[in-house]
Amino acid sequence: MSDHNESSGDVDIAANLATIQHNIDEAAAAVNRQSADITLVCVSKTHDAAHVRGALEAGRRVFGENRVQEAAEKWPGLKQDFSDVELHLIGPLQSNKAREAMRLFDVIETLDRPKLARTFARLRDETGHCPELYIQINIGQEPQKAGIDPADADAFIRECIEDLALPITGLMCIPPVDEEPAPHFALLGKIADRHGLKVRSMGMSGDYECAIRMGATHVRVGTAIFGHRAYNIGENA
C-alpha cells in the first residue's frame, strides 16, 4: 500500500489547523482552562513528508506517528529543517522495536504492558536515555484494544514509577468508538489524579472538544488536519 493519501490534494492543512485551534480555544474557555495548557498532537501517520511539511510550515511542532518504521523513514529529513519537533509514538510497540523507538521518539504514549516497561528500564540503564512515557489505559476494557485494564492501572503505574523509576508523566486512552466518550475521559482523569500525573492524552478528530472539557492536556488529531487516510486506526498496512 502506498503512503499517498488520495484526498490530501484537496485539503487545506493551514485552514484546518486554524479551525481546530479555534475549537480548542473555545472548548478550553468553556471550562475556564487556558488553551496554552492544551497541546495539539498532529497525527501524521500515512501522510507523506510533503503534507507533513504543510503543518510544520503552519507552525506546528508536535506530531504523532503510530509505526516505528514509517517514522524512521519520514522524520529524520524533516527534523533537519525543523529541529524543534517533538515526536510522539501513539501506536502499539513491539518489544523488539523498543530500542529504535526510544531513539526516534521524544514521547512514547503507548506503554501498555509490564514486559515493555521492563524493556524500557533495561534499555534506559544501558543507554542512559529514556523518552518521556505515558501509560496507555484500555479505558473501555475492549479485548481487541491495547492498554492496561483500569482495574490493574494503579498497581502498574506504581510499578513503573516506584520500582522501575521510569519517566512516566501521564496517561493515554482511546475510548470505544461506539460509546459516549465523556465517562471514559473522566475515568482516565481520576486514575491520573490518584498518581499526581498531569498529562492526559485523550481525544481525536471526533471528540477532542469533549476531551478538553474533560481535562485533556494533549489531543491527538489526524483526519481533521490532513484529511482521510488510506488505512484506519489499529490497522497495520
Ligand X SMILES: *Cc1c(COP(=O)(O)O)cnc(C)c1O
- Structure-block grid coordinates of residue 200: 492526559
Nearer to ligand X, 28 or 211 (CB): 211
Nearer to ligand X, 159 or 169 (CB): 169
Q: Considering only residues 5, 35, 169, 205, which one is a binding residue for ligand X as defined by CB under 6 A?
A: 205
Binding mask 5-44 for ligand X (x = CB under 6 A): --------------------------------------x-
Tell me the C-alpha to C-alpha distance, in Å, between residue 229 and each of 1, 6, 57, 64, 175: 12, 8, 21, 14, 20
The count of chain residues that interact with ligand X, using the rule CB under 6 A, is 15
Does 90 interact with ligand X (rule: CB under 6 A)? yes
Q: How many CB atoms lie within 10 A of CB 97?
A: 17
The radius of gyration of the chain from alpha carbons, rounded to an integer in Å, stands at 17
Does 174 interact with ligand X (rule: CB under 6 A)? yes
Q: How far is the CB of 206 from ligand X (least distance, A)?
A: 6
Burial class from Cβ neighbours inside 10 Å (0-12, 13-18, 19+) for residue 130 reads middle
Give the span between the Cα atoms of 47 and 189, in whole angstroms: 31
Does 66 interact with ligand X (rule: CB under 6 A)? yes
Does 188 interact with ligand X (rule: CB under 6 A)? no
Q: Which residue stretch of 26-34, 141-149, 161-169, 217-225 sits at the interface with ligand X (rule: CB under 6 A)?
A: 217-225
Asked whether the beta carbons of 142 and 175 are under 8 A apart, the reply is no
Q: How far is the CB of 225 from ligand X (least distance, A)?
A: 8
Nearest to 31 by CA among 218, 183, 213, 188: 213
Q: Is 174 helix (H, G, I), strand (E, B) or coil?
A: coil
Phi-psi region of 93 (alpha: psi -120 to 50; beta: other; left: phi over 0): beta
Does 168 interact with ligand X (rule: CB under 6 A)? no
Could you say which DSSP state residue 236 is in? -
Nearer to ligand X, 164 or 182 (CB): 182
Q: Considering only residues 21, 23, 35, 223, which one is a binding residue for ligand X as defined by CB under 6 A?
A: 223
Q: Which residue stretch of 15-23, 138-146, 184-192, 214-222 sits at the interface with ligand X (rule: CB under 6 A)?
A: 214-222
Binding site for ligand X (CB under 6 A): 43, 45, 66, 90-91, 174, 204-206, 220-224, 233
